[in-house]
Structure 1
Amino acid sequence: MTHSVLCLGEAVIDFIPVQAEGGAAYRPCLGGSSYNVARALGRLGVPTEYGCAVSTDLFGDQFVAGLTESRVGQRFLQRLEAPSTLGFVSLDQAEPVYAFYDESAADRICEAMPSGLALAGVGALHFGSIALIREPTASAYETLFLREAGGTRLVSFDPNIRASLVRDEAGYRARIDRLLRAADIIKISGADLDWLFPEISHEAAAADWLRHRARVVVITHGKDGVSGWSRVSHAHAKAIPTEVVDTVGAGDSFMAGFLAGLHEENLLTPETLGHPSAAALHQALAYGQKVASATCARRGADSPWREQIAPGGE
């Protein structure tokens, strides 16, 4: 694939707890789900663009520098005179817990989305996380998502749910359900799936989405590995033991690694994604696990470079 992946969503300064002289402190790190996916893809050698708005403040400058350093294109990036979103992270539970401060933040108020003509050269769009909760940006992203679904570009989706931020639960659930039925590639954690559909088995949910538009569905299970389904194959990849520093950005790194694995197999196009073999699907899942494992061994969402990780998987 020579076309790029365009990642659309929030950019957040994650304040990660660290031990410092005199007690606990917080270290600011670049973050935000789609921002993390974009940087990880760029580091893995996949042609990547990032689309959102970031502030003109000092944090916005850091976001831009992070994209540049990770070789991510910025032709869809907007700079707005508005604050940056700040997220404070607690690591006391199995999954990170966040408190966001985003009133009138740049990545929350942007509504200008690229036209079809502007998307020339883009082969896939990736959406997810709190960008689909916070208005007015959430509605703008949904409109773009549904406009592109079923067209000439793949649409990738990771809900990456932050339930504590949801105020209109019925409306949010309805939105996520619409998007899950329209996406080509779905990656979702077992915990998110249980929150959305507690009465439905994971296998049944995957089968239902595959009866709609999905071509590949991936469900992650933490230490129990990850499973993937297409319309013709199924695969599972084990978790990779690692000395965990923190799990911030692990799911985003897996998402990037999985997309990069599909890219390596020349499967990241509407023409080629339809019928991946079990071996190819496993290869992409295992590569995603390697990228996620390497990220867990670092502080914050600091994903590895391509040359630091072997392609494919066991």
Structure 2
Amino acid sequence: MIIVCGEALFDVFSDGDTDTGFALSARVGGSPFNLAIGLARLGRRPMFFGGLSADLFGRKLADTLAREGVDTSCAPRPDAATALVTIDVDADGVPAYTLYGDQTADRSVTVADLERVPPDAAVIHVGSYCMAIEPVASTLRTLVTRQHRRSLIAFDPNVRLTIQPDRQIWTDAIAWMLPMTDLLKISDEDIGHLYPGLPPRAFIDMALDAGVALVVVTRGGEGVLAGTATLALELPAVKVDVVDTVGAGDTF
């Protein structure tokens, strides 16, 4: 059993100007949400542990997960709104993310909700900004502590400084997670945001020294670096015509 923990939200895009504002489209999203669906499409039946609101957006998120074959029986349903994230893509195709909403369902998951999470999971994946905002961050740390050496722990920081601008909170979260993590997936962009000037290979060495078994650094079109205690790999990226990078790394 794989349990994916973190946020489910709506990404909001502008489809252009109108006379009085913008035409907007809203699409289901969130890195852990996308990962859970990807696993289901690969024939797994993952569980999703993240706050799902009872509002219009939360119902759509829950329905989408269920339709895709993701088990939501352990997902809390807090009395809180769904997070909305606007995505503004610049001329170079680089997206910028802005979170709208406070005390939203994704961050309102508490330690009491952990009773829902089966202790016999083979894999616990935690990730994205839910590891850097409270109270959900403390809840997920409690879960990781409970499952350490009981489940394989996978971690994807997916750093979003527009959502949690305090870099120290991010680096503290990563420092805490490294000794608890078996599989770490991080992007070169994440490393650049939090550790300016630190080469990806040096970060891999740092994470391995802290106890991570496998570190994977994605680098977009430059391919991927991976390292274990006994092996270092560099693999090229598949050449594609890039249209939209939003969510591209969530299910790597």
TM-score scaled to structure 2, two decimals? 0.90
User: What amino acid maps onto 1:191 in structure 2?
Assistant: E
Distance of 1:206 and 1:87 partners within structure 2: 30
Structure 2, unpaired ranges of 5+: none
**Which residue of the partner structure matches residue 103 of structure 1?**
102
Structure 1, unpaired ranges of 5+: 255-314
**Which residue of the partner structure matches residue 15 of structure 1?**
12
Counting only pairs closer than 5 Å after superposition, residues 85-104 of structure 1 correspond to structure 2 as 85-92=83-90, 93-104=92-103
Distance of 1:190 and 1:118 partners within structure 2: 32
Selected match of 2:234 from 215, 233, 236: 236
User: What amino acid maps onto 1:153 in structure 2?
Assistant: S
**Which residue of the partner structure matches residue 70 of structure 1?**
68
Distance of 1:104 and 1:118 partners within structure 2: 22
**Which residue of the partner structure matches residue 114 of structure 1?**
114
**Which residue of the partner structure matches residue 250 of structure 1?**
248
**Which residue of the partner structure matches residue 44 of structure 1?**
42
User: What amino acid maps onto 2:28 in structure 1?
Assistant: L
Distance of 1:47 and 1:175 partners within structure 2: 28
2:251 is paired with a residue whose SS is helix
Counting only pairs closer than 5 Å after superposition, residues 223-302 of structure 1 correspond to structure 2 as 223-254=221-252
Shift of 1:74: 1.2
Distance of 1:37 and 1:9 partners within structure 2: 10
User: What amino acid maps onto 1:114 in structure 2?
Assistant: L
Contact map agreement 2:28 2:61 (CA 8 A) in 1: yes
**Corresponding pairs, count:** 249
Distance of 1:58 and 1:48 partners within structure 2: 24
Distance of 1:104 and 1:28 partners within structure 2: 20
Identity of aligned residues (%): 31
Distance of 1:106 and 1:179 partners within structure 2: 23
Shift of 1:159: 0.6
1:252 is paired with a residue whose SS is coil
28 and 118 in structure 1: CA distance in 2 versus 1, 3 angstrom threshold: closer
1:251 is paired with a residue whose SS is coil
Shift of 1:56: 0.5
Selected match of 2:202 from 201, 204, 209: 204
1:82 is paired with a residue whose SS is coil
TM-score scaled to structure 1, two decimals? 0.73
2:122 is paired with a residue whose SS is strand
Alignment RMSD (CA, Å): 2.1
**Which residue of the partner structure matches residue 126 of structure 1?**
125
**Which residue of the partner structure matches residue 136 of structure 1?**
135
Could you list the per-position Cα deviations for residues 87-112 of structure 1 after superposition, in whole angstroms to 9, with x for gaps in the alignment? 11011155321111121211111213
1:214 is paired with a residue whose SS is coil
Shift of 1:128: 1.2
**Which residue of the partner structure matches residue 178 of structure 1?**
176
**Which residue of the partner structure matches residue 29 of structure 2?**
31
Distance of 1:78 and 1:43 partners within structure 2: 23
Shift of 1:122: 1.2
